[in-house]
Amino acid sequence: MTVLQHGGDAFRLAFETYTDTVYRVAVHNTRSVSDAEDVTQETFLRLLQCRKAFRDTEHLKAWLIRVTINLCKNHLRDTRREIPAEDVPAPLHAETDSVLDAVRALPENERNAVYLHYYEGYTAAEIASILSSRTNTVLSWLRRGRETLRETLGGLDNESL
């Protein structure tokens, strides 16, 4: 088992490897380019200040995602404002606008579960660990999210999500 110790090399590895992931999670949760940039910067600032050792790169990635989601929640709670339409980013993937918009419209827990599963490739157990929840709860969020997306998007199958 590899342990990543805090330091310049570990930070550089994290920044080079996970900046895009952190930014995508931030955009997905804030729906604003400028807010996502602020959250991304704050996430890596927190990593610089963090003194914990990470078991491996997956542990580090999960920690970054958890911190990003928490910072997004804090930011949205603190600002409680409408996002100007021109500040909503273009889709970060090749999916159509309607699919990503529908995912963004899901309730928070379902939105994050669907995003982490389908966009970042995490299993339900891994998502449960990241979101400090139970695996069965995450499976319920995924099921409800898929049902809502099917209704919203007109009967898409799981392969289309």
Q: Domains of the chain: which residue ranges?
A: 1-89, 92-161
SS3 70: helix
Distance of CA 158 to the CA centre of its chain: 20
Query: Considering the domain 1-89, what is its CATH architecture?
Result: Orthogonal Bundle (1.10)
Task: Give which of 141, 118, 111 is closest to 29, Cα–Cα.
Answer: 111
* pLDDT number for residue 44: 95
Length of the chain: 161
* pLDDT number for residue 6: 56
CATH topology of domain 92-161: Arc Repressor Mutant, subunit A (1.10.10)
* pLDDT number for residue 116: 92
* pLDDT number for residue 135: 95
Question: For residue 67, what are its two tokens?
Answer: 């911190």
Q: How far apart, in whole angstroms, are the C-alpha atoms of residue 99 and residue 108?
A: 16
pTM to 2 decimals?
Answer: 0.72
Residue 14 near residue 64, CB atoms below 8 Å: yes
* pLDDT number for residue 157: 53
What kind and span of H or E run contains 65? helix 57-79
- Measured in degrees and rounded to the nearest 5, phi and psi for residue 94 equal -75, -5
Residue 160 near residue 102, CB atoms below 8 Å: no
Query: Which parts of the chain register pLDDT below 50?
Result: 1, 81-96
